[in-house]
């Protein structure tokens, strides 16, 4: 029983179950369409009346699935269900804005408008307490990523894997160690605080911060500040990195690899990649997934270092089970979806049926991404971060560390994907 309990009490596992259920419904033919917002030039045509009923069905369906998960995770499901319709309506408004012909022509899609809507509410009015239970960034984005796995051809993952390992595993430990040393020796920060900021910057944002906070027994206020700072700057990088990639003229695969290796949050990586198209999105997602594999290893290594060097007199010892405990389980859902669709379903159903199903899963994934981007905005408050930054040392560590990360990752990405050193991988992306 103790082994089964984590399968129903872990958010990561619930994202796998929900993602798997959605994919099963699509590929079995139970769900053959997901409502979308058509391209429009006149506001009156932005939301045709015939889309209202399907949108209500989608709202209820997502609310039931995520509401069950919320209840199983020990949260107030009723409070969530009361708040979620408002979150869904705001996400729908973002889709409507992104479907405008003029905005679409300039690449201003739903991801940007969802983020802007959330930031406006959070920073101008403050996210109301009654709405906060409906803000579930990690749950939404992880479900979306499991669904995204179906769109990523497994052969592509294997092809990109060796290049992704060079980009993600080669840069991440270097950035982590340099930032920790700089935070401790130059900025005189507490070891636990320096490590949390370094891990959040070098690995994958909030998840890495939480993992290393547990390994270092950091104070709650240290984790809160690190997470808050990471969320704010993740938003800025989510918007800024695609613009920088375009300014530098990077091709989509190089741009996606750079984004995947530098943007802190998995959800923000997907959003930034979405801005640049399917090539960049899938490359960024795969690179980030490969980087995410380091969470458990780094958490275990940090715990071992803390017991041996930082707090040698503390009780307890790092366990091998820590690797599994810290491992983000939704990554298994992503890889599993990719493998099953590419290796099992594609030969059995044929390319035409697979393409039809993936059109539906793509629309599903976009809805969960939109809900996540909106939630990121609703959770990001610039004023709160400013109040915590009076002494400036965490900000200095983050900015300098991220700058080092961006430059070093770009160098490695160029070496790997430019053809100057390695053979350029042949990556086929479904359009």
Supply the DSSP string of 121-140, one letter for each residue. IIIII---TTTGGG--HHHH
Q: How far apart are the first and last CA of the chain?
A: 45
% residues pLDDT > 90 (the chain): 26
> Is residue 153's pLDDT more than 50?
yes
Q: What average pLDDT does range 43-69 have in this prediction?
A: 87
Compute the CA torsion angle 300, 281, 269, 375 (nearest 10 deg): -120
Query: Computed over its alpha carbons, how large is the radius of gyration of the chain?
Result: 21
Q: Are 144 and 271 in contact (CB under 8 A)?
A: no
**pLDDT-derived band of residue 430, with 50, 70 and 90 as boundaries?**
very low
> Is residue 322's pLDDT more than 60?
no
- Looking at residue 187, its pLDDT comes to 87
**Residue 430 lies inside a defined structural domain of this protein:** no
For residues 203 and 299, what is the distance between their CA atoms, to the nearest angstrom? 11
Q: Are 123 and 382 in contact (CB under 8 A)?
A: yes
> If you write DSSP's letter for every residue of 262-286 in order, what string do you get?
H-S-HHHHHHHHHHH-HHHHHHHHH
Q: Are 9 and 72 in contact (CB under 8 A)?
A: yes
The closest alpha carbon to 263, from 171, 149, 182, 365, belongs to 171
- Looking at residue 18, its pLDDT comes to 95
Q: How many residues does the chain have?
A: 431
Q: Are 197 and 398 in contact (CB under 8 A)?
A: yes
215-274 residue pLDDT tens: 677 676 676 677 667 777 877 888 889 999 999 989 888 999 999 889 877 667 877 888
**Residue 107 lies inside a defined structural domain of this protein:** yes
Q: Are 273 and 260 in contact (CB under 8 A)?
A: yes
**Residue 422 lies inside a defined structural domain of this protein:** no
User: CB within 8 A of 283, min separation 6: which ones?
Assistant: 160, 252, 253, 255, 256, 257, 260, 273, 427
> Is residue 431's pLDDT more than 50?
no
Q: Are 84 and 132 in contact (CB under 8 A)?
A: no
pTM: 0.71
Compute the CA torsion angle 122, 124, 129, 131 (nearest 10 deg): -60
- Looking at residue 78, its pLDDT comes to 95
**Residue 324 lies inside a defined structural domain of this protein:** yes
Compute the CA torsion angle 7, 10, 15, 20 (nearest 10 deg): 0
- Looking at residue 55, its pLDDT comes to 94
> Is residue 101's pLDDT more than 80?
yes
List Cα–Cα distances, 340 to 84, 153, 271, 354, in angstroms.
31, 10, 25, 12
Q: Which domain holds residue 213?
A: 6-417
**Residue 195 lies inside a defined structural domain of this protein:** yes
From the centroid of its chain, how far is CA 149? Answer: 13
For residues 354 and 357, what is the distance between their CA atoms, to the nearest angstrom? 5
The closest alpha carbon to 201, from 162, 238, 220, 227, belongs to 227
**pLDDT-derived band of residue 69, with 50, 70 and 90 as boundaries?**
very high
Q: What average pLDDT does range 62-69 have in this prediction?
A: 95
- Segment among 41-50, 229-238, 400-409 with least mean pLDDT: 41-50
- Looking at residue 400, its pLDDT comes to 93
**Residue 142 lies inside a defined structural domain of this protein:** yes
The closest alpha carbon to 99, from 32, 34, 33, 43, belongs to 43
Q: Across the strands, what pairs with 40?
A: 100
For residue 40, the 8-state DSSP code is B
**Residue 243 lies inside a defined structural domain of this protein:** yes
Q: CA-based angle 90:246:93, to the nearest 5?
A: 10
**pLDDT-derived band of residue 68, with 50, 70 and 90 as boundaries?**
very high
> Is residue 127's pLDDT more than 70?
yes
- Looking at residue 409, its pLDDT comes to 93
User: CB within 8 A of 175, min separation 6: which ones?
Assistant: 198, 201, 202, 401, 404, 405, 408
**Residue 431 lies inside a defined structural domain of this protein:** no
> Is residue 104's pLDDT more than 60?
yes
Tally of domains in the chain: 1
Q: What is the mean pLDDT of the chain?
A: 81
Phi then psi dihedrals of residue 108, to 5 deg: -90, 80
**pLDDT-derived band of residue 429, with 50, 70 and 90 as boundaries?**
very low
């Amino acid at each position: 029983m103790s082994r089964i309990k984590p399968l129903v009490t872990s958010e990561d596992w619930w994202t796998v179950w929900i993602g798997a259920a959605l994919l099963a419904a699509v590929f079995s033919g139970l769900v053959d369409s997901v409502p979308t917002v058509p391209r429009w030039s006149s506001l009156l045509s932005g939301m045709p009346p015939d889309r209202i009923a399907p949108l209500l069905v989608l709202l209820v369906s997502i609310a039931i699935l995520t509401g069950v998960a919320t209840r199983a995770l020990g949260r107030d499901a009723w409070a969530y269900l009361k708040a979620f319709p408002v979150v869904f309506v705001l996400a729908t408004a973002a889709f409507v804005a992104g479907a405008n012909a003029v905005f679409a022509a300039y690449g201003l899609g739903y991801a940007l408008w969802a983020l802007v809507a959330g930031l406006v509410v959070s920073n101008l009015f403050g996210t109301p307490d009654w709405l906060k239970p409906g803000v579930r960034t990690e749950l939404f984005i992880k479900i979306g990523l499991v669904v995204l796995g179906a769109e990523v051809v497994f052969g592509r993952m294997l092809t990109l894997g060796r290049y992704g390992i060079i980009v993600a595993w080669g840069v991440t430990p270097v950035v982590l160690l340099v930032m920790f040393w700089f935070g401790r020796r130059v900025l005189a920060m507490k070891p636990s605080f320096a490590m949390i900021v370094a891990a959040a910057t070098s690995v994958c944002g909030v998840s890495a911060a939480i993992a290393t906070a547990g390994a270092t027994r950091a104070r709650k206020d240290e984790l809160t500040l690190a997470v808050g700072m990471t969320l704010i700057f993740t938003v800025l990088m989510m918007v800024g990195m695609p613009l920088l990639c375009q300014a530098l003229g990077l091709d989509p695969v190089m741009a996606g690899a750079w984004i995947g290796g530098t943007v802190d949050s998995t959800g923000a990586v997907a959003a930034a990649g979405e801005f640049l198209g399917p090539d960049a999105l899938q490359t960024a997602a795969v690179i980030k997934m490969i980087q995410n594999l380091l969470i458990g290893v780094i958490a275990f290594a940090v715990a071992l270092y803390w017991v041996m060097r930082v707090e040698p007199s503390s009780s307890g010892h790092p366990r091998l089970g820590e690797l599994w405990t810290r491992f983000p389980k939704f990554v298994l859902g992503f890889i599993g979806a990719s493998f099953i669709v590419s290796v099992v379903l594609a030969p059995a159903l044929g390319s035409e049926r697979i393409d039809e199903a993936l059109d539906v899963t793509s629309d599903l994934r976009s809805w969960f991404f939109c809900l996540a981007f909106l939630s990121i905005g609703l959770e990001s408050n610039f004023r709160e971060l400013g109040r915590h930054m009076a002494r400036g040392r965490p900000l200095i560590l983050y900015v300098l560390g991220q700058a080092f990360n961006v430059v070093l990752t770009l160098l490695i990405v160029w070496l790997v994907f430019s053809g100057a050193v390695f053979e350029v991988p042949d990556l086929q992306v479904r359009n």
